[in-house]
Amino acid sequence: MPEDFSFIQITDHHLGPSATSVRLGYAVNYTFTQTLQHLAQYAAPQADFLISTGDLVDPPTPQGYTWLQNELGAAPGSAAFPGPLSMRRPGLEGLPLYLMPGNHDDRRRMCEQFFPLSRPGGMLNASFEHKGVLFLCLDWGADSKARLYPELYNCLDQGLRSGLPLVICMHHQVTSLNMRWMDAFIADEVNAFWEALCAPTTTARILGIIAGHTHISYEKVEYGIPTWGLRSTSYTFHPIDTLAVRLANPQYRLFSIQNGVLTSRLFEVPLPLMDDTAVGEEI
């Protein structure tokens, strides 16, 4: 039985190079900062670490990664991918940080910025252990549509053989939201993934799957395994069959493991209006 602890998930930041960057009508860097401020106050005091499930920047420029690094106060340390990095941002000082890539991330640039000891050959698959739980960070690739690469399957197989309780972290989703365009991004080979998890002695050790990519929060049980998705810290989407961007408040999750059971509490971040004093003065 693992120790009890909590951790925070954020996802899909789509950051630009400056505090005023806008993407699809959404002030993505501003809402990311608001999310950090909110979780520092309400969730971080209970959490052992923070993990982002990818799409850190969009497009993946060095300037975007530098802005993120400065905002977190997360200088590259001695950790290889996926961390932990140690943050120096006020309110989050010393909180360990794990970073995963999404389809919009440049894996080589991301490692140069945060994990210079890691040399990604292609995908970034890795695991870390925390208080008796093995976190598998699985990489379905740099395209909108997921692909089950051999590296992912090997990492999954190693984790399943560890005998430890598992939390499986990933960017892409592995479960349908009943949205035609979004569901098309699920890997064609997803059944092989679920078959690996559904071996008789395996399912009970999987505490849950946490994902990003959809920009929409959901909670489902698939083959007996709890599966969570999370609204982005940037724009979200209407839950319909065609792509339609929706502007809404960012969300994040505080996960807790108690007595070997993983549960989630969803937080929504209020957005104070941006101070337009400077704009007014210019006019």
Task: List residues near Fe ion by CB under 5 A.
Answer: 12, 55
Residue 196 CA to residue 208 CA, distance in Å, equals 14
Nearer to Fe ion, 160 or 187 (CB): 187
Nearer to Fe ion, 130 or 171 (CB): 171
Nearer to Fe ion, 42 or 185 (CB): 185
Nearer to Fe ion, 130 or 213 (CB): 213
Q: Minimum distance from CB of 217 to Fe ion (Å)?
A: 13
Q: Minimum distance from CB of 116 to Fe ion (Å)?
A: 25
Nearer to Fe ion, 38 or 171 (CB): 171
Q: Minimum distance from CB of 117 to Fe ion (Å)?
A: 27
Q: Minimum distance from CB of 173 to Fe ion (Å)?
A: 11
State which amino acid sits at residue 192: A
Indicate the pairing of strand 261-268 with strand 126-130.
unpaired
State which amino acid sits at residue 126: A
State which amino acid sits at residue 84: P
Nearer to Fe ion, 6 or 31 (CB): 31
Q: Minimum distance from CB of 232 to Fe ion (Å)?
A: 6
Q: Minimum distance from CB of 95 to Fe ion (Å)?
A: 23
